[in-house]
Amino acid sequence: MSRKEHMEILKRISFPLAVIGMLVTIAGNFFDISVTKKVCYLVGAVFLFVPALIDKDKVFTLLEAILIVGASIAFLHLSFFWKSVLPISLGAIAAIYLIISGEIKDRLMWLSAFGLLIGTWGYAVTNPILYFIAGSVLAIYAFCRGNKLSIVFGSLNSVFAVTALLEIVGVMH
């Protein structure tokens, strides 16, 4: 099998993997902090990382890589400080990387770097206001990209934004 044929197979499975990752992550969103929630976030992030990598979307590849690290360390017996500082640091490094590497060429990419940064901070400290801002910004970025995979990332981030907003106004706990 040629490299081109391998890439075609990967592209064909990319969307179903992303949908599975989105659904598993959304399911995790409805559990209280528990092992089940942590497993859902880890599995969902892995399933979303692969399609982001195949699609060569640096923003979502970086974001999912950071979420994989964050979800993995959630299983460790570390203080809140250490569980927070790693995703926050990785988010800052990823945003700086996007800027330095020349990936930031327009307002949409600036928006994506901001969303990535705020999203990792919100994830690290589980702050619904940061989740709302990041989810909204990343959904806008994803929907503006306009490809099939971006619809999955846009939908997922929209769900995070809405559930965070419901938590902010006191409808969800």
Residue 92: exposure state from Cβ atoms within 10 A (0-12, 13-18, ≥19): middle
34-84 pLDDT, tens digit per residue, is 889 889 999 999 999 999 999 999 999 999 999 999 899 989 988 989 888
pLDDT of residue 138: 94
Question: Using N-to-C axis directions, what is the helix angle for 35-54 and 148-168, rounded to 10°?
Answer: 150
154 confidence band (pLDDT: 50, 70, 90): very high
Q: Which of 88, 11, 85 is nearest to 54 (CA)?
A: 11
pLDDT averaged over every residue in the chain: 91
Region 113-142 average pLDDT:
91
Q: What does the pLDDT read at residue 173? A: 60
Tokens of 95: 């945003």
**C-alpha span between 101 and 56 (Å, rounded):** 15
What pLDDT shows up at residue 126?
Answer: 83
Residue type, 144: C
Lowest mean pLDDT among 40-49, 111-120, 149-158: 111-120
Dist. CA 84–CA 74, nearest whole Å: 10
Percent of the chain with pLDDT over 70: 99
Query: Is the confidence at residue 134, as pLDDT, over 70?
Result: yes
Task: Write down the pTM of the prediction.
Answer: 0.89
